[in-house]
A and B are shown apart, each in its own frame.
Chain A
């Protein structure tokens, strides 16, 4: 039987929940701010892109892949001195935000890259034909047209960050994952652990539903909505009947 009363549990859960939200919230904002441009840049610098540049593309891709290969726990430890330099502290939720962000940026950037790459080439040509600059292309076409995919990527990233934040907790980041580990696992408060897991599950579900709803709203602009289209890839236009495609 649990040694903790419901009141005690609540007292512990409330600040932990706040910490989780703070960590994930700040990390998400930073991830989007940095990851979105990287994702777009990966598309623009690739072959046939508006800023085609193989060296930049290769280096950027390699850095992203390297960062994605590092296990999060190692990344976190490796970044301790950087974190301390940046936040003045290597403990606490603020400090945990740094490795969370660094870990999520390449993940998010790849997701963004995939979404942006799916924007119909014809739209890009249309903007170029009307005399738009690369910046116009990004701002008025690539990002708005890829927005449903980008929002879905944000949802996935937030949920991944909630998972990572549990690990961040073990190095003093706090948060729900840490609470479940310390009380539930180390102190055998199994019931408490499951309550926390249930809370995390509820948070994840709510975020997923909210994200899906936003994606559906965006993807169905002018389509009158409809449950069946939920997260299904949009039917792409038939392959243009081109005379000659550079092969």
Chain B
């Protein structure tokens, strides 16, 4: 649904060059919620703004729903007719909502409909539908200043959906909201994704956002995507940075000298098996649990446990093999002699 190939963006100013994007390949499939995460300066904001050409990429291509936007004419601030047409099918929500204070909630939602060229009655009907959809049917006549942050973002979302887009871009939509409001907005995005089959590309600096709504994610650093994929795959991938960030166990102990520390990740119904006691019984070893957590990621239950087994890696090859046979993902994160799986 959204594909970028080798996207680069270089800002030039007084002979100085700043590379914001250094060759980004992104592939967002239809109907999924795709999250791009990274710290400030990673280039994620530039990336999402390149998707609808609010920023012109320096090189590379962007294709949204089969239309190659990079091939359409128009500068950053003055889009050509074709690009404007294409943008009408891409909704966008912003961190600071960007609602017009001179218009009521309903009139704000009607703005994109005016641009599309619907008549007054059609606009009214559509705006009312959209406001009901986001749960603000009773606020049509209010002004943005009378709304809370969460309500403003709901208006922003209703407005973004006005053109019946297939794609919704979310530029830090929840970053200005408190945690509870963030959850309700994310739930709304998830619901819209499922009800309308909307493809959502969101950028955020919060791992919690990725964890609670995304199907797939990409980690950006220094203008590059360092890791990307479906969350369930990423979690099963040994050494995945995203998985570690999504599911940090770093605050747990790292074990004692002369022992082997394992990180065991299980998805779905694997934890139904009592593998810890089975392991202890079968191999007659004492297992020390350093830490464990279970979370729901991308709608699936995922657990991670850090355990300590006596002896070095060589001594524990057989128990590790046993755990892997059970369908568990085992990462050896530290042993007495420093070996790693």
Does B78 count as interface, using CB distance less than 8 angstroms? yes
Q: How far is the CA of A223 from the CA of B99 in the complex (A)?
A: 15
Tell me if B20 and A244 are in contact (CB < 8 A): yes
Tell me if B78 and A240 are in contact (CB < 8 A): no
Tell me if A133 and B54 are in contact (CB < 8 A): no
Tell me if B84 and A123 are in contact (CB < 8 A): no
Does A241 count as interface, using CB distance less than 8 angstroms? yes
| Contacts A125-B54, A221-B101, A246-B13 given; does A241 touch B90 at CB 8 Å | no
| Contacts A49-B77, A131-B163, A140-B111 given; does A126 touch B98 at CB 8 Å | yes
Number of interface residues of B (CB under 8 A): 53
Tell me if B79 and A128 are in contact (CB < 8 A): yes
Q: How far is the CA of A228 from the CA of B142 in the complex (A)?
A: 22
Does B123 count as interface, using CB distance less than 8 angstroms? no
Tell me if B163 and A122 are in contact (CB < 8 A): no
Contact stretch, chosen from A23-31, A141-149, A165-173, A208-216: A141-149
Does A129 count as interface, using CB distance less than 8 angstroms? yes
Tell me if A222 and B142 are in contact (CB < 8 A): yes
Q: Which of B60-102 contact A (CB under 8 A)?
A: 75, 77-79, 83-88, 90-92, 94-96, 98-102
Does A127 count as interface, using CB distance less than 8 angstroms? yes
Q: How far is the CA of A150 from the CA of B18 in the complex (A)?
A: 38
Q: How far is the CA of A145 from the CA of B84 in the complex (A)?
A: 22
| Contacts A49-B77, A247-B13 given; does A221 touch B102 at CB 8 Å | yes
Q: How far is the CA of A224 from the CA of B92 in the complex (A)?
A: 30
Tell me if B143 and A126 are in contact (CB < 8 A): no
| B42, closest chain A residue (CB) | A243
Residue of A51, A131, A144, A224 near B79 (CB, 8 A) is A131
Q: How far is the CA of A242 from the CA of B54 in the complex (A)?
A: 14
Residues of B contacting A140 with CB < 8 Å?
100, 111, 114
Tell me if A123 and B100 are in contact (CB < 8 A): yes
Tell me if A243 and B44 are in contact (CB < 8 A): yes
Q: How far is the CA of A49 from the CA of B77 in the complex (A)?
A: 7
Does A136 count as interface, using CB distance less than 8 angstroms? yes
Q: How far is the CA of A221 from the CA of B84 in the complex (A)?
A: 30
| A247, closest chain B residue (CB) | B13
Tell me if A133 and B142 are in contact (CB < 8 A): no
Does B292 count as interface, using CB distance less than 8 angstroms? no
Q: How far is the CA of A222 from the CA of B88 in the complex (A)?
A: 28
| B13, closest chain A residue (CB) | A247
Does B41 count as interface, using CB distance less than 8 angstroms? yes
Does A160 count as interface, using CB distance less than 8 angstroms? no
Tell me if A133 and B98 are in contact (CB < 8 A): no
- Ordered by A's residue number, 6 sampled pairs between the chains whose C-beta atoms are within 8 Å are A130-B91, A131-B88, A136-B114, A222-B145, A246-B18, A247-B11
On A, residues with C-beta under 8 Å from B are 48-52, 120, 122-123, 125-134, 136, 140-141, 144-145, 147, 218, 221-224, 234, 237-238, 240-244, 246-247
Closest 6 CB pairs of A and B: A222-B143, A131-B87, A131-B88, A243-B45, A126-B98, A122-B98
